[in-house]
Amino acid sequence: MWERDAAKMSRLKSILVLVVVGGLALFIVVQYEILAKLRAGNNALRSQLDQLTQAQAARESTSNPSATANDLNADQLAELLKLRGEVTQLRGQTNEIAALRQQNDALRASAKMAAAAALPVERKKKTADDALPQDIHLKESWGFRGYDSPENTLESMLWSASKGDKTGFMAGFSPDMQEKFQKDFAQKDFAEEARTHEIGEFRVLDRQAVSDDEMVVTIYTTHDDNGKTTGNSEDTHFKKIDGQWKVFEPK
């Protein structure tokens, strides 16, 4: 059960990474196309500006250098004012394009930072030696601790199992899992099953709060395998139900 939960969590993390990376790639492609269009428009405007500037210079060079607006006829004056207005407008559009390019660069940088922040952080996998002293629960110290914390729930379940107490053991599961295990143990001797899968100790290696009433706890347990002690760690999901922490299987 716990191995399946770990596989599910791994698959969800992989899907999240693919979604974030795919979204970032699409965003960058769209922004690149916008930037290309802006550059093309900017180049066209610069070309027009150069042509108009050259035309204005040519017009002024052929006229009397000392001439003033009063020396021009009405048509020449109107043409000159129109030309100067177009040059001013083109310069304003060029400045606007430069500002848009800066905003585009800032948006791309922000998108990269957001995507990096959304990626799941890989947690270092802890070993049995990483367990703190207060998180090491030897079998000799087990007792019924109630169900007010994930650690107490687990210890109460294991202690009940070691005593052949099916009721105390089952009470540590969520209602759905209780129903499932009731069917599994219907034709089995619970005390014999508990002895077969007897645990020597357990250690809490890590705790990850999913929400205020849900937590994933990495638990290391030891077993007696034909006189040889072996151990393994698994992620166990706990959910707070009516004020008590119960082992449950996420959908």
9 and 95 part of one domain: yes
Sequence-separated (6 or more) residues with CB below 8 Å from residue 156: 144, 145, 146, 147, 168, 171, 172
Among all chains, which residue has been given the structure tokens 């087990």?
142
Neighbours of 226 (CB within 10 A): 5
Domain containing residue 152: CATH number: 3.10.450.50
67-106 pLDDT tens trace: 455 555 677 667 777 777 777 777 777 777 777 778 777 8
**pLDDT tier for residue 251 given thresholds of 50, 70 and 90:** confident
106 and 55 part of one domain: yes
Q: Last residue of a domain, which of 118, 136, 158?
A: 118
104 and 195 part of one domain: no
106 and 138 part of one domain: no
Count of domains for the chain = 2
106-140 pLDDT tens trace: 877 777 777 666 655 566 778 889 899 999 999 99
107 and 158 part of one domain: no
67 and 94 part of one domain: yes
Domain extent, residue 69, equals 2-118
Q: Last residue of a domain, which of 118, 145, 175?
A: 118
Q: What is the dihedral of CA 86, 87, 90, 95, to 10 degrees?
A: -140
**92/4 Cα distance (integer angstroms):** 62
- Domain-embedded: residue 123: no
104 and 21 part of one domain: yes
Q: Last residue of a domain, which of 72, 88, 118?
A: 118
217-244 pLDDT tens trace: 999 998 877 777 888 899 999 999 999 9
72 and 144 part of one domain: no
The structure's pTM equals 0.51
111 and 144 part of one domain: no
Q: In what order do the strands lie in the sheet with 214-225?
A: 136-138, 199-211, 214-225, 228-241, 244-247
pLDDT computed for residue 37 by the predictor: 67
**80/116 Cα distance (integer angstroms):** 55
Name the DSSP letter for residue 102: H
